[in-house]
Amino acid sequence: MISYLSYMRIVFADPSHIDILLPLFEGYRTFYKQQPNPEASKAFLLERMQQQEATVLLALSNQGAALGFTQLFPIFSSVSLEPMYLLNDLFVAPEARKQGVGAALLNAAKELCKKQQRKGLLLQTASDNPAQKLYERLGWIKEEDLFYFWKA
């Protein structure tokens, strides 16, 4: 367990959590206008976990219900010569929003980053994502550097 609050705990997800993580992951994907694909999503998550290519932090209620998750991918900075994380996914179940779940997940990711002596956390989000207010409230700084993407 990485973090505990009176009404929830945040754990490192592993393959045993896949059935309660999958609906959250599908909710995240559909938020970004992707067609639901539970089979492919499950395979993707399991492969990331089994290959140790990602760290998934999962918020669970005291009753064991999945409230939200964030997925961190290790990346590196050649300029600073330091490892960091890409916070690629953050999603809170609609019924659990406005209860501090997102903030708890972000703070748990920050604590993990500090514990592992990473440079920091990088995230990208949609320009209209209302979670930007949460990021800024928790001390995240919006960078003005240009972002480019090449699609194969």
The residue segments making up the domain with residue 120 are 3-137
CA distance 34 to 40: 12
Give the chain's mean pLDDT: 90
Domain membership flag for residue 143 = no
Q: Is residue 68 part of a domain?
A: yes
List the CATH number of the domain containing 35. 3.40.630.30
In a domain, 149, yes or no: no
Q: What is the pTM of this model?
A: 0.89
How high is the pLDDT of residue 1?
59
- pLDDT-derived band of residue 2, with 50, 70 and 90 as boundaries? low
**pLDDT tier at 4, thresholds 50, 70, 90:** low
SS (H, E, C) the chain: CCEEECCEEEEECCHHHHHHHHHHHHHHHHHCCCCCCHHHHHHHHHHHHHCCCCEEEEEEECCCCEEEEEEEEEEEECCCCEEEEEEEEEEECHHHCCCCHHHHHHHHHHHHHHHCCCCCEEECCCCCCCCHHHHHHCCCCCCCCCCCCCCC
User: Residue 10 has what pLDDT?
Assistant: 96
**What's the structural domain count of the chain?**
1
Amino acid 124: pLDDT: 81
67, part of any domain: yes
Answer yes or no: is 121 within a domain. yes
Query: Would residue 17 count as lying in a domain?
Result: yes
Q: Percentage of residues in the chain with pLDDT exceeding 70?
A: 95
- Residue 142 within any structural domain of the chain: no
